[in-house]
Structure 1
Amino acid sequence: MTTIDDDRFAAAAAQDGRGVKGRLAVVGHHLRAGAVFLLLLAMLVGFTAAQPAFITIANLMSILQAVSVVAVLAAGVTVTLAVGGFDLSIGAIAASSVMAASYAMIVWHLDALATVPLVLTFGAVIGLVNAFLIVRLRVPDLLATLAVMFLLSGLQLIPTAGRSISTGMVLPDGSKATGAFDPSFLLIGRYNLFSILPVAVVLMAVVAIVLFVLTERTRIGRLLFATGGNELATRLAGASTTRLKTFAYVISGVLAALGGIVIAARVGRGDVSSGGSLLMDSVAAALIGYAVLNLRRPNVLGTIVGAVFVGVLLNGLTMLNAPYYTQDFVKGAVLVGALALTYGLGRNPDR
């Protein structure tokens, strides 16, 4: 037979148990929220210990420059994810923008001041085409952007009969292209501010800051996420989900075109294979971003961190002479780990 004191002791013990569980849950939440940053720090320390040249300012700037295009494209993907969509055409838009910028300067003899707005407008138009297919014709976003991806992949090859664009190339009509890249245009991909900070990294930072403020600190940003969460409720609340989705895809198209401009300025030619891995790398960065701060939703900060995370990992493996053919496997493993961390370990086991 139990006494009142026994009952009180049992209740106190149960309360202590719940307190311990609660504290452990809080600790676990903070660990998941900062896990990507902890892994990033661990990689920096590990690669530096194995190869001291890794931590030099020049190498770190090289990493940021390498991931800048992927980060910009991934930021565009993040905005489309926010409205419940998905843009598979970003890699093709970027590659087509490389060809368009090169064609404009080498064949049409345009300067940088004319070429950059022209290419950005091209990206916006493709974004409008995607939005028209998805919003007006109600084509599923994956199918619509996949179709546009194939359309652009073929269209970019037609003006040059499938050849890369460079000064002196022979055009399909037999004439020679006598134009050249505007030196001021090439500065976008090659110039370093203060002799150390690449312009491409500055562009990445500007895009990240502007989109972070837009999506996290403005009414438009809240409506974008509301559209992705519950489109009907957002529409009933008086917001135009049609305009919000169109806005998201136009942003994605413009950012993909900006990425293409940076690539063209960096390589100095219209390379037909320039957009090969941009789509998958950008999608990986956007999805890894879900694990940052344990937000479990599209977010620009997480996307940029995801791009830098993959860039640091691949750069470190390259400096350690890891075989190049393992890179895709490593990126896949990182993505699986990030998603498992976000959705698997973060799940309440009592549910």
Structure 2
Amino acid sequence: MTTIDDSALSRETAAPDGNSKDRRSAGAVLRSGAVFILLGLMLVGFGVAEPAFINIGNLMSVLQAVSVVAILGAGVTVTLAVGGFDLSIGAVAASSVMAASYAMIVWQFDAFATVPLVLAFGATIGLINAVLIVRLRVPDLLATLAMMFLLSGLQLIPTAGRSISAGLVLPDGSKAVGAFDPVFLLIGRYSFLGTLPVSVLLMTLVALVLYVLTERTRIGRLLFATGGNEVATRLAGASTARLKTLAYVISGALASLGGIVIAARVGRGDVSSGGSLLMDAVAAALIGFAVLNLRRPNVLGTLVGAVFVGVLLNGLTMLNAPYYTQDFVKGAVLVGALALTYGLGRNLDR
């Protein structure tokens, strides 16, 4: 009769073999670094295919191009943290472009009056969203969707659907005599030392401030707690209504900041501006879930997600890829990054 050494069996069961450890290590690396790995591969691949891609000027232009998306994505991230979602963020940015242009062209405001006015406009829209969601109990998607449609129509009324530029003829037949303040235009066009654009600096500042707020303060912990379990957070003594209101006000103000950057860059109030900002900002925020395997909204992840998408689109453009294939390639690469993070990385742990 064969006997079994129980102690040996327990040691064998408790101690996993080296292959299991290696698989778990590989899985952890894939989960934590999938986005960074693909970003590095894209940089190398595009740099080899087109050496001009890795020129410092081009890389700064990539960051400048994604700065608005990253700023708006940071606002989306804050609303996701409290368990909400802001569909109006693209419309707020587009309306802010029109508002800033109208203030300078029609009302003849300077930059120092226009910027605070537009930021206050965005914050007010965020507050209205919060009232609808928190006080009137309207579901966040419905409330912000309604706001999106309202703003999309409202921004066209003052100019009868025309874009705003110097010499604009108003609906009453009068002609606007104002012009864009040169100081305002510096926000979108000036580069420190000829290298670092102001918009990139604003993007970095927003990311750092929100990172500290959400990851290093009690308010940040309460924001995530509200999104995780609103009832428990309320029972713990926190005002979830105020936290949600704060999140939507921040989202609205950041959307207006993005609109200011766009207006300063193009130098006119374009009625078509902001068309793709919502989806790009949401994509950046959701890609952020996969960064470092955090699997939750996080501002630095959103910044990485925006840069990821910007590098991909810039590289495809420099390689003269047909415009109608770019969305497909972008989607395929994003699916690959998320599959590595959520699928293959987990399977290697087994």
Q: TM-score, normalised by structure 2?
A: 0.96
Number of residue pairs matched by the alignment? 350
**How far did 1:73 drift?**
0.1
Q: How far does the alpha carbon of each residue in 1:78-102 deviate from its partner, in whole angstroms, 9 at most, with x for none?
A: 0000000000000000000000000
Q: Cα deviations across residues 279-311 of structure 1 (Å, max 9, x unaligned)?
A: 000000000010000000000010000000000
Structure 2 distance, partners of 1:260, 1:291, is 27
Contact between 1:287 and 1:339, CA under 8 Å: does it hold in 2?
A: no
Q: Tell me the CA shift for residue 169 of structure 1.
A: 1.5
Quick check: 1:122–1:257 contact (8 Å CA) kept in 2? Answer: yes
* Match in the other structure for 2:242: 243
Residue-by-residue CA offset, 1:128-178 (whole Å, 9 max, x unaligned): 010011000111100100000000000000000000001111100000011
Of residues 291-300 and 14-23 in structure 1, the stretch that sits farther from structure 2 once superposed is 14-23
User: Amino acid of the residue matched to residue 221 of structure 1?
Assistant: G
Aligned equivalents of 1:38, 1:159: Cα separation in 2: 48
Residue 124 of structure 1 contacts residue 254 of structure 1 at CA under 8 Å; is this kept in 2?
Answer: yes
| Per-residue Cα deviation, 1:94-140 (whole angstroms, up to 9, x for no partner) | 00000000000000000000000000000000000100110001111
What residue number does 2:192 align with?
193
User: Aligned runs of 1:211-222 on 2, under 5 Å?
Assistant: 211-222=210-221
SS at match of 2:163: coil
Aligned to 1:325: 324
Contact 2:87 2:141 in 1 (8 A): yes
Report deviation, 1:15.
4.3
| Mapped contact 1:284–1:335 kept (Cα < 8 A) | no
Percent identical residues: 81
Paired position in structure 2 for 1:343 = 342
> How far does the alpha carbon of each residue in 1:302-328 deviate from its partner, in whole angstroms, 9 at most, with x for none?
000000000001111111110111222
- Does the 8 Å contact 1:296/1:342 carry over to 2? no
* 1:90-169 mapped onto 2 (5 Å cutoff): 90-169=89-168
Q: Does 2:76 match 1:81?
A: no
Name the structure 1 match of 2:49.
Answer: 50
Partners of 2:207 and 2:300 within 8 A in 1: yes
In the alignment, residue 58 of structure 1 is paired with which amino acid?
A: G
> Whole-Å Cα distance in 2 between the matches of residues 15 and 220 of structure 1?
42
CA deviation after TM superposition for structure 1 residue 38, in Å: 1.1
> Residue 290 of structure 2: SS of its match in structure 1?
helix
Structure 2's unaligned 5+ residue stretches are: none
Higher relative contact order (CA 8 A, sep 6+): 2
Give 1:11 deviation, angstroms: 4.9
Separation in 1, partners of 2:189, 2:105: 19
After superposition, the Cα gap between the structure-2 partners of 1:251 and 1:191, relative to the gap in structure 1 and judged at 3 Å, is: same
Query: Which residue type is aligned with residue 125 of structure 1?
Result: T
Aligned CA RMSD, in angstroms, stands at: 1.8
In 2, the alpha carbon distance for the partners of 1:324 and 1:112 equals 36
User: What CA distance in whole angstroms lies between the structure 1 residues aligned with 2:12 and 2:89?
Assistant: 57
Structure-2 separation of matches of 1:182 and 1:53: 34
Partner of 2:333: 334
Return the alpha-carbon distance in structure 1 between the equivalents of residues 277 and 159 of structure 2: 22
CA separation of 1:347 and 1:144: change in aligned 2, threshold 3 A: farther
Shift of 1:231: 0.1
User: How far 1:30 sits from its partner (Å)?
Assistant: 2.2
Give the Å deviation of 1:8: 6.0
How far residue 10 of structure 1 moved from its aligned partner, in angstroms, is 5.2
TM-score when scaled to structure 1?
A: 0.96
**Structure 2 counterpart of 1:316:** 315
Q: CA deviation at 1:22?
A: 3.8
Q: Which moved more, 1:313-322 or 1:326-335?
A: 326-335
Letter in 2 for 1:219: R
C-alpha distance in structure 2 between counterparts of 1:292 and 1:29, whole Å: 12
